[in-house]
Amino acid sequence: MSTAKQVSTVQAIPDSVIGFPEGVAEATENVATASQPIFNWWIHHCMDASHPFVRLQQAWMESVFEAIQAETEFLNACATSSGKMSKCLFDVGNFQNPASLHSCYREVAKDMTDAHFSRLGRVAELPEDFQQRLWEEIC
């Protein structure tokens, strides 16, 4: 329940306000109509000035997205490897057979190594991709 006063959103025009003299309203519309081409030209060039900044921000956001995507894939590989390792450790037969536990551990370690090197490769490419995008937008 609100404790604020209920204030009317519709405001009445006071009697002391003087209206436009006759003919001024039509003149205002004529000026607006006549200045429309100049306004369109100005807004077009004003927006052109902001386009390079928008394109640079878009290039930066694409690079950030690729970095986040690489990290997500790596975290997915970590979760998958952790699940495999947990499955191996909870299997009683693996504790009785050291070779089975060793092969399970090696498989998980190989998966993690591959995921890490894939991640490093993608991260190493990011600065070059970002520089290339910047030059494409600048030139």
Series of mean pLDDT values for 10-residue runs along the chain (139 residues): 51 54 61 77 72 78 86 93 91 84 92 92 81 71
Helix (H, G, I), strand (E, B) or coil at 66: helix
The per-residue pLDDT for 127 is 79
- Which residue shows structure tokens 């006063």? 5
Using a cut of 0.75, tell me whether the model's pTM lies above it.
no
* Spatial separation of the C-alpha atoms in residues 100 and 14, rounded to whole Å: 91
